Every structure is written in C-alpha cells, then in structure tokens.
A and B are shown apart, each in its own frame.
Chain A
C-alpha cells in the first residue's frame, strides 16, 4: 500500500512538472484563439494589477490566425526568412561537423588531439566573445545585411563536431577497414558505413541546431539592418509589446517547423546513445 502511494505521489509530481513545462505552450495556444479585444483587456493593466491570466477564451475566435494568414502577409515573409536562414545552417553545419568529426576520430594525422583541444576551447567560449571578430570579418567580406552574415558564422561550430565525435568513437574501426578492403571509396565509407551508425547523433545535432538558429535574435540585430530580412524570431519580440494578439498566433505557427522536425527524428533522437 505504501509503495502504491509513493508511486501515485511520484506520478502526480511528474504530472505537475510536465504541466509546468507545458504551461507556456498551452497558454500560447489558448491565447491564439481569443479575440484581440479579449487579449488587449488581459494585457492592459494598471501598475497595481497583474495581467489577467486565463486559459479558457471568453469568446472563441480565429481572428488572430485570420490576421496572420490573410491580412498581415509580412508575417508570412518573416516565416520564410526564418526558414531561409535556418535550413542552410542546419545542412551546412551537419555536413561540416560530420566530416570534421570523422577526421578527428578516424583519421590519423599529427597534432590531431591538440587541434581537437583547441576546438573544445572554442566550444566553451561564450558566443559574445566571437561576435565582434565575426562582425569585422563579415564587414570586410561585404556580407553585412545579407543572409550570409547569419548563415556563415553559425554553420561552423565546435559543438556539432564534439557531439558527432562522441558518436563516431563507437563506430568500430573494423567496419571501416573492411569497407576499405572491399574497395569502397571514402565517400561510400562515410555515407554508407559511418552515417547509418551515427544517425541518432546527426538527428540530435540537426534538431538542436535547428532550434538554436530558429530562435536566433542577437546575430540578426547585429548583422542585419533591413527589417524585411529579419526572421520571425526577431519580429515576435518586437511586436510583442504593440500587438500581443498577433504574437500568440505567430508563436503557434513559429512552433510548428521545429516540432515537425523533432517528431520526424524522435525515434532516432530517443534511441541515440553516446
């Protein structure tokens, strides 16, 4: 009986924690189907009062979605900007990390471990430290105010290399040697022998990179001055104070691509072992 009670208590605690984590998402979904007047009422508060917190709409309304999809096409353009920035970063970073991790794990060359150590140092450096040198380089290359100013610095990170290196250490050397003996090319060994064995790691890297860059804000503000090139992540923060109603509907739309990517790779992500 006591065991049973402890178990129920554990589940209740877990449910409470789960609710706590999901609350922002539930709150966003609930607010996205409220009318703009209801949202304005809830957020227009005097200094003595907190915003009116309620999860069940007084009047169900798809007005916010109507506004985003049909009346405010600028939000759709911003959505495509986000995709245009994030997808190349994920693709380039996955590919570069995969090759670099293979080199640091399976190839034998002088100072390999020292170079990897330097890579680790890059990993622990805060991104703000590299921001100024990056800015100067981008300026010299004449890439300021272009999407390449966002894509290039984010495409080459030490994190992806470190992550995939850990996965690659578990790929037996024998499988690679056997493939080499069978006359497989380097390309074939990488993509037909190594990649299937570290699929979970690549999926994890893709999801994490996507989420990280999908939510990009600081780099955009620093490198891009043309607001038409801003991704949705920046617009969400700038519109939050002036148009809270729209932001909830935009937030739901903004949430869909990472969610779909996660669901697609969820199996590999859950089964991934380092």
Chain B
C-alpha cells in the first residue's frame, strides 16, 4: 500500500514535470501560433487624390460676373470632399456638343473653380472653362452644351497619409513597437483625421515612421504582443 502510494506520487510528479517541460520547450511555437498575426503598413508624407466623374451643362455667367465672355458650369460634391475642391484648383473636363446627327464630339480641356457655396446637398462648385483644345473641325462648345467632368483632385501635402482601414473607430491606430528582446507589441496611438479619400486618410499623429497595423488575424489591444507577417 505504502509503495503503491509512493509510485503514484512519482508517476504524478513525472507527468507534471514532463507536461511543464514540454510546454516550456514548445512555448515559442505555441506562442507564435496563438499570438495575433498582423500586417503592417508605413504612413508617409503625401497628398490625397480624389477622382470625380460627373456631367454638367455649360451656362452663361451671372450678371455680376467680371468675365462675361466665359463659359461656366456647376457641379455638386459631398461636404467631405471640400478639402479637395479648393478655389483655383483645376478641373480636367471634356466638352460634348450635340450635332444634328445626335453625335457627341469630345474635346479635352480644363476649368478653374471660381466659386463654392454650401447647399443642403453638399457643396456647389462653379468652374470656368479655359484652355479648351479643339480637335479637327469641331466647333467650340456654347451655352447649353453638356460637359463631362473627369478629373482627379489632389489635396495639399500632409505629414501622415495612412490607409483608412488602419484607423480604428476613427480615432486611433495601432503601431508596432519592438522591445530589447526583439519581441513586437502594439501600442494605441490617437490620431485626428484631417482629410480622407476613398482608401486613404491624412491624419495628425505623434509617432513618426512606426509601422502601423493594417489588418490582424485576431482582436488586439494596447500592449499586446503580436507577430508581424512579412
């Protein structure tokens, strides 16, 4: 009886130590398997771009306009795009003129934004046609002609441009930091969104040149250890 209890205790001890030994030996492997894997991106200086494709009709300038001979058109954009469409910015556009055969002749040209006002639906911009390039024997566009706006607007330069998917709840990003033992952790860094396009946002943040978490395999929190996927 006495020896059987002792043998049980020895067995339990051996099993206990073996389990601890195995878990310790494979701790690195287990850890790597269980830790969240993240993909990173680097924020950098740059501009945001916004593509606009719209149609409008050429119209006469208003009575109080200083350029009575100019051709103008109006287009609407979302309030969030206010940052892109600045007074004086150039709009790429093509004019289409309806002919007797119902065919449209397109011309490449540009226009300058000369007016902006807020409306219920957003922002109404007024652009003045200029530098219209004529092709062949096409006639110049005139009032009532349709104009196609196909342009890319660019903002001013910002210090940090990051992908919008990296911004959590619109208020912070996770940056990856490395400790002395080369282990990587995520840290929450608050950001303020200054402007945004479809996929990118210009933000104001304190950390410079740190890798920003783009996607992660599991939910992460501030201070959590992560594995960075190449």
Q: Does B2 contact A (CB under 8 A)?
A: yes
Given known A264-B6, A264-B10, contact A73–B16 (CB-CB < 8 A): no
**CA gap between A71 and B31 in the complex, in Å:** 6
Q: Does B23 contact A (CB under 8 A)?
A: yes
Contacts of A263 in B (CB 8 A): 5, 9
Q: Does B105 contact A (CB under 8 A)?
A: no
The A-contacting residues of B in range 8-29, CB under 8 angstroms, are 9-10, 12-13, 16, 20, 23-24, 27-28
Q: Shortest Cβ distance from B207 into chain A, in angstroms?
A: 25
- Residue from the list B9, B23, B27, B30 in contact with A260, Cβ < 8 A: B9
Q: Shortest Cβ distance from A63 into chain B, in angstroms?
A: 13
**CA gap between A71 and B36 in the complex, in Å:** 12
The answer on a CB contact under 8 Å between B10 and A69 is no
Mostly, the A contact residues are helix
Contacts of A80 in B (CB 8 A): 20, 24
The answer on a CB contact under 8 Å between A73 and B9 is no
Instruction: Please give me the residue from chain B that is nearest to A253 by CB atom.
Output: B20
The answer on a CB contact under 8 Å between A264 and B9 is yes
The answer on a CB contact under 8 Å between B27 and A73 is yes
Q: Shortest Cβ distance from A91 into chain B, in angstroms?
A: 16
| A26-49 interface bits toward B, Cβ cutoff 8 Å, 1 = contact, 0 = none | 000000000000000000000000
The answer on a CB contact under 8 Å between A260 and B12 is yes
The answer on a CB contact under 8 Å between A73 and B13 is no
The answer on a CB contact under 8 Å between A76 and B23 is yes
The answer on a CB contact under 8 Å between A77 and B31 is no
Q: Does A70 contact B (CB under 8 A)?
A: yes
**CA gap between A76 and B12 in the complex, in Å:** 18
The answer on a CB contact under 8 Å between B20 and A76 is yes
**CA gap between A80 and B20 in the complex, in Å:** 9
Contacts of A192 in B (CB 8 A): none
Contacts of B20 in A (CB 8 A): 76, 79-80, 253
The answer on a CB contact under 8 Å between A73 and B12 is no
| A250-264 interface bits toward B, Cβ cutoff 8 Å, 1 = contact, 0 = none | 000100110010011
The answer on a CB contact under 8 Å between B31 and A73 is yes
Q: Does A267 contact B (CB under 8 A)?
A: yes
Q: Shortest Cβ distance from B4 into chain A, in angstroms?
A: 12
Q: Shortest Cβ distance from A17 into chain B, in angstroms?
A: 26
Q: Shortest Cβ distance from B91 into chain A, in angstroms?
A: 56
**CA gap between A263 and B9 in the complex, in Å:** 7
Q: Does B194 contact A (CB under 8 A)?
A: no
**CA gap between A76 and B28 in the complex, in Å:** 12
Contacts of A77 in B (CB 8 A): 24
Contacts of A253 in B (CB 8 A): 20
**CA gap between A166 and B136 in the complex, in Å:** 121
The answer on a CB contact under 8 Å between A69 and B23 is yes
Contacts of A69 in B (CB 8 A): 23
Can you spell out 5 A-B residue pairs with CB atoms less than 8 angstroms apart?
A256-B16, A257-B13, A260-B9, A260-B16, A264-B10
* The 6 nearest A-B residue pairs measured at CB: A73-B27, A76-B24, A264-B9, A260-B13, A263-B9, A70-B30
A76-B23, A253-B20 given; 12 more Cβ-contact pairs under 8 Å: A69-B23, A70-B30, A70-B31, A73-B23, A73-B24, A73-B28, A76-B27, A77-B24, A79-B20, A80-B20, A264-B9, A264-B10
